[in-house]
Structure 1
Amino acid sequence: MNQLSLFEVSRRADTAESFIDDLVSFDDFGKKTVSDEKDGIPYFVNEFWTAGQRQAHSIHEVSYRACFKAQLPEFFISRLTKPGDVVLDPFMGRGTTPVQAGLMGRQAFGNDVNPLSVLLARPRLRPVSVQAVADALNTVDWSRGQIQREDLLAFYHPATLRKLEALRLWLADRAPLGSDEVDSVADWIRMVAINRLSGHSPGFFSGRSMPPNQAVSVKAQLKINEKLGVEPPERDVAQVILKKTRTLLKDGGVPGQVRSCLLTGSAWDMPGIANATVDLTVTSPPFLDIVQYAADNWLRCWFAGIDPANVAIDIHRTEEAWSMMVNRVLREQARILRPDGYVAFEVGEVRNGKVLLERLVWQAAEGLPFDRLGVMVNDQTFTKTANCWGVDNGTKGTNTNRIVLLRRL
């Protein structure tokens, strides 16, 4: 081993030690870190990032159920990588980790079994302007749309639904599914439209519905309409898209030179990523059987032209099955991470804290080529979407971020 290699190994080892020291001494929000050890696992508990809503870059404001705040990946990216490094999320969901990586000048890598994920993340990693979006919307022939599904009138005024169908036809020409060679502005318009399909304010295409991170069934929407005594009002589809575009781009966009790689597939099998090329993984897998992703996204799948029945999203109903999945994911991480690369594996809370998923992750990593550094617990008081479902904050739902920290040996 030459002198440079020895220096590099020493520097990276120092990075791991200094990162743990940073957690122990962290007091940015006026609290001291509580360090403890439980069953041989080191814990570091504090408020490590703000609990305030909408404090991140405006481009992150794309709704998706069970997503973490951008401050979570930002915390690790800023401390464990440098510009140009590769940052990955194998369960990227709406793309919070790759988008934050791109904003910070890192290479943005992501993967998800749900094909909607690429449609939500890719457009925000490519340069686009409000004027370009406005010009593109002016080329849509809004008269082409014909209502194909009468049941969707539970959500939309007939004129709105016809415009959405016209937009779907336009997108099929300009941004076909399954192709990376799509018009970046059309790709952006589809992403915004997917995000505006249903919600609770005039900023959405629908009448009054549930929060936009999940779609209720047609039957449930009809009950909402009946209870409120309303019919879906007509919306100006182009203006809704433009308004949301201005909001998303309020703080600017991702630098144009950022390299990205977004894949669709299982988190434990990513052949599109070469061996030993990733510097940092920040991710959060589905938590047991808590979230029904396919049911939540059926309306988005309709608009995008995706058959949700063909999306092989696993639901792990037992701790054993979930642990086996995590072990497979970590084996793939061992393949793609560079030596001394890091994993920040967030698991939150489930079943009122009776099941500590971080311990299952800790056990799943045993015997693999990782140094298990500890569990970082971000403990905060904040308002969650769960509150809309009658779940009190601080009692049920996810009240902490619990992050298992691993370093590739």
Structure 2
Amino acid sequence: MKKALAYNKDYAFNAICPYYTMFPLEYPLGIINKHRENAPVVLDPFCGRGTTLYAARKLGFKAYGLDTSPIAAAIAQAKLASANIDNVMALAGKLVATTPKEIPSTTFFRRAFSDSTLAELCSLREGLLRARASNEAAILRAAALGCLHGPLPTASGTPSYFSNQMPRTFASKPDYSVRFWEEREILAPRASVLDVLRKKLARISDLDSPSEGRLTNVKCRDARTASSYRHVRKATLTITSPPYYGMRTYVEDQWLRSWFIGGPAEPDYGNDQQLRHTGHDIFITDLAKVWKNVHRSSDAGAHLYIRFGAIPSVKSDPRELLKASLEEAGGWDLVSVRNAKTAAAGKRQADQMGRESKPATEFDFHAIRA
């Protein structure tokens, strides 16, 4: 059985920060390879952690991305950044060496991180919030987000994460986390922020490889809004995966990472920039706005590939929803709809905090700009 690219060290950059609803790198790599003779300009209007952008980078093509989540945009920007590890760590050392102005004192933060780790983490957070945009800062921010929470080490040596026991891909809620740790008498590791970051970055072999994209190719914007695409230069190949109908917890599931990039030190419920999930017709209309904008930003004959599915807890037919959205948008000829492999992303890491979930059913859509 062929080993998944997620476990291949040559692609460790793509795993710089695990994300709860990521699709496998094999999907965009395979599609871009199929179209590589045409030197595609790649677009992902729901870019998430930037897997499509990274696939384009690996194959030497320019890519653009949009996402309403500032966390997703920060991670995706790093996928287009190029910097030497020593320069990234030099910036990290400079920022960590400063004294933080504010350290959260809630029970969650006191149990989630050791005192020394939290102080260093707050110094890094405040420094990155002040830092000018650069390749080094983009990579450092994404690496810190990826190390912010995760499972405790099972052996001696440098931990891989700053936090007490947590999932890698989402942050469990404060009250639940504290109760989990207290019941099991689990203490946070005394982790050196710099040592953890260097361990993360040392695994990435292509950190300083050339990139056809720039940080500004990724925007934290709403894909439903036409003005969000002003930076896109005529895409010829769009590869994306919209939020599945009923998936509305992106914001609160990433609340700790949101704090690190400047948000509140507690979950923030709701996001009016997300696709609306209050009814099938409303959801279809929102998706149609995106496909219309992609159409305007694409060349004639451009290809659109979409991976879309359904979550078990919500009654919906992903094939009907997606087809209806393309029909409402107009300008796209649907070529094929195929079964994708069952998604395990929703299952991954869920048992680390006692949560249970079932994998989604997914389909791959291919359409061509009329």
**Length-normalised TM-score, structure 1:** 0.78
C-alpha contact 1:347 1:402 (8 A) present in aligned 2: yes
Opposite residue 33 of structure 2, the aligned amino acid is S
Matched, 1:153 2:110: yes
Opposite residue 190 of structure 1, the aligned amino acid is R
Aligned to 2:282: 321
Aligned to 1:339: 300
The equivalences for 1:1-80 within 5 A come to 53-55=6-8, 57-61=11-15, 62-80=17-35
Q: Which of these two proteins has the greater Rg computed from alpha carbons?
A: 1
Q: 2-side partners of 1:290 and 1:222: how far apart? A: 25
Aligned to 1:357: 318
Structure 1 pair 50/82, CA: closer, same or farther in 2 (3 Å)? farther
Aligned to 2:341: 379
Which of 353, 363, 369 is equivalent to 2:331? 369
Structure 1 pair 183/333, CA: closer, same or farther in 2 (3 Å)? closer
Matched, 1:281 2:238: yes
Structure 1 pair 266/50, CA: closer, same or farther in 2 (3 Å)? farther
SS at match of 1:374: strand
Any unmatched runs of 5+ in structure 1? 1-28, 30-48, 176-181
Any unmatched runs of 5+ in structure 2? 153-158
User: What's the CA shift for 1:66?
Assistant: 0.8
Matched, 1:222 2:182: no
Opposite residue 401 of structure 1, the aligned amino acid is E
Aligned to 2:143: 192
SS at match of 1:101: helix
Opposite residue 266 of structure 1, the aligned amino acid is D
The equivalences for 1:116-195 within 5 A come to 116-142=71-97, 144-145=99-100, 147-151=102-106, 152-175=109-132, 182-195=133-146
User: What's the CA shift for 1:155?
Assistant: 0.8
Q: 1-side partners of 2:279 and 2:200: how far apart? A: 40
User: What's the CA shift for 1:111?
Assistant: 0.1
Opposite residue 195 of structure 1, the aligned amino acid is G
User: What's the CA shift for 1:338?
Assistant: 0.9
**Length-normalised TM-score, structure 2:** 0.86
Number of matched pairs: 350
Opposite residue 264 of structure 1, the aligned amino acid is C
SS at match of 2:56: helix
Per-residue Cα deviation, 1:92-148 (whole angstroms, up to 9, x for no partner) = 111111111111111110001111222111122121122222322332353502553
Structure 1 pair 234/157, CA: closer, same or farther in 2 (3 Å)? same
Opposite residue 237 of structure 1, the aligned amino acid is V
C-alpha contact 1:349 1:397 (8 A) present in aligned 2: no
Structure 1 pair 294/222, CA: closer, same or farther in 2 (3 Å)? same
Structure 1 pair 267/254, CA: closer, same or farther in 2 (3 Å)? farther
SS at match of 2:289: helix
Structure 1 pair 253/133, CA: closer, same or farther in 2 (3 Å)? closer
C-alpha contact 2:342 2:359 (8 A) present in aligned 1: no
The equivalences for 1:186-335 within 5 A come to 186-201=137-152, 202-209=159-166, 211-247=167-203, 249-251=204-206, 253-259=208-214, 261-273=217-229, 277-306=234-263, 308=268, 311=271, 312-335=273-296
Per-residue Cα deviation, 1:52-83 (whole angstroms, up to 9, x for no partner) = 75247111112111110111111211113447
Structure 1 pair 291/397, CA: closer, same or farther in 2 (3 Å)? farther
Q: 2-side partners of 1:335 and 1:407: how far apart? A: 13
C-alpha contact 2:95 2:128 (8 A) present in aligned 1: no
C-alpha contact 1:344 1:403 (8 A) present in aligned 2: yes
User: What's the CA shift for 1:230?
Assistant: 2.1
C-alpha contact 1:349 1:402 (8 A) present in aligned 2: no
SS at match of 1:144: coil
SS at match of 2:75: helix
C-alpha contact 1:276 1:338 (8 A) present in aligned 2: no
SS at match of 2:125: helix
User: What's the CA shift for 1:313?
Assistant: 2.7
Per-residue Cα deviation, 1:262-318 (whole angstroms, up to 9, x for no partner) = 112111224253588111111111112234011111111111113557953344142
Q: 2-side partners of 1:50 and 1:189: how far apart? A: 29
Q: 1-side partners of 2:209 and 2:263: how far apart? A: 27
Matched, 1:110 2:96: no
Structure 1 pair 263/134, CA: closer, same or farther in 2 (3 Å)? closer
SS at match of 1:385: coil
